[in-house]
Amino acid sequence: MNTTATSEPAVLEPTGETSDTMMAIVQDNYGSVPGDVLRLAEVDRPTVGDDEVLVRVGAASVDRGTVHLMTGMPTLMRLMGFGFRRPKASNPGRSVAGTVEAVGHAVTGFEAGDEVYGTAGGTFAEYAVVDPGRLARKPVNLSVGQAAAVPISGMTAVQAVRLAQVEAGQRVLITGASGGVGTFAVQLAKAAGAEVTGVCSTSKTDLVLQLGADHVVDYTREDFTSSGQRYDAIIDIAGNTKLAYMRRAIEPKGRLVIAGGETEGRILGGFDRQIRALLLSPFVSQKLTVLAAKENADDLSALRSVIEAGNLAPSVDKSFPLSETAAAIEYVQHGHARGKVVITV
């Protein structure tokens, strides 16, 4: 979508408000209590560079990554460049849906007024600057709030199902099936023709069945790793089952995709399982893989096509106004969400 930049600073005039400030969520320090570290403040409105798009935010969404950005845990995140003592990003929002306000001169394919969705930094705000390589047109059959629920979780799900090589007739198990990524993964695996089993808690089994799962395992009552059932592929999103136990539930030539890591380790969190899976995979018949999700416009466009065809729909649990972003994150943090939580702006 980008062309060669011109030599002059290139910012098109916005079509709406001309104020130099906006309301946004601000985070100065790491912390585990959203209300202690997040505040709503008036900040400078971002300007758009040559190869950027300025989006007037209609809605954003919360995912587990939002919680990690807020807490700075596991510590490995800080060592990976997110900020050691305090967050480099002052706003943990990532997914966005809204309307193009302005574009840089080097950007093609978008213009003011386009309805779009994608990923960016600092989306818990009235405006966000977006890389056009992480932006696509919003599905026409979704509201702006529904569209904001898709980008991070939807792209992670589509890449996980792709990596698992899900095909018609296969038996596929998905842990964390009622969460943001899981609700998309269940639908995508089912659309591929698989026999899908979703793992979730008692209060969320109805949701997973509504999404199309053929079977549901209530992890509070049953351990899927000791049932004797084997699967052609497991997509592990919940991220808290021991690697050795999951391998018992995979066919000898089956595949495991680890797409999440939510163990309690302060240093590595769930990354220790991922490291062990990668080290072990060359020595076993099962294919043990780790998903490093990539944010890109191609997958956003593919998701739009599937959504507009009626084969995929975001499951939105609750919506919170921007002023209640801390409450929204706390709701996700404590595992209450059935699907996605949206922030409306």
The predicted-structure confidence for 186-223, as pLDDT tens digits, reads as follows 999 999 999 999 999 999 999 999 999 999 999 999 99
pLDDT of residue 43: 95
| Average pLDDT over all residues of the chain | 88
CATH number assigned to the domain covering 21-150+314-344: 3.90.180.10
Q: Tell which residue, 340, 345, 343, has the closest CA to residue 149.
A: 340
pLDDT for the residue 13: 40
Kindly report the pTM of this predicted structure.
Answer: 0.88
Q: Tokens 């659309």 belong to which residue?
A: 191
10: its two tokens: 């290139």
pLDDT above 90 covers a percentage of the chain that reads: 72
Where in the chain are the domains? 21-150+314-344, 153-290
CATH of 153-290, one of 2.60.40.10, 3.40.630.30, 3.40.50.720, 3.40.50.1970: 3.40.50.720
Q: How far is CA 150 from CA 124, 156, 235, 306, in A?
A: 15, 10, 19, 12
Sole residue written with tokens 């596929």: 172
pLDDT single digits (tens) 37-55: 899 999 999 999 999 999 9
Is it the case that residue 90 has pLDDT exceeding 50? yes
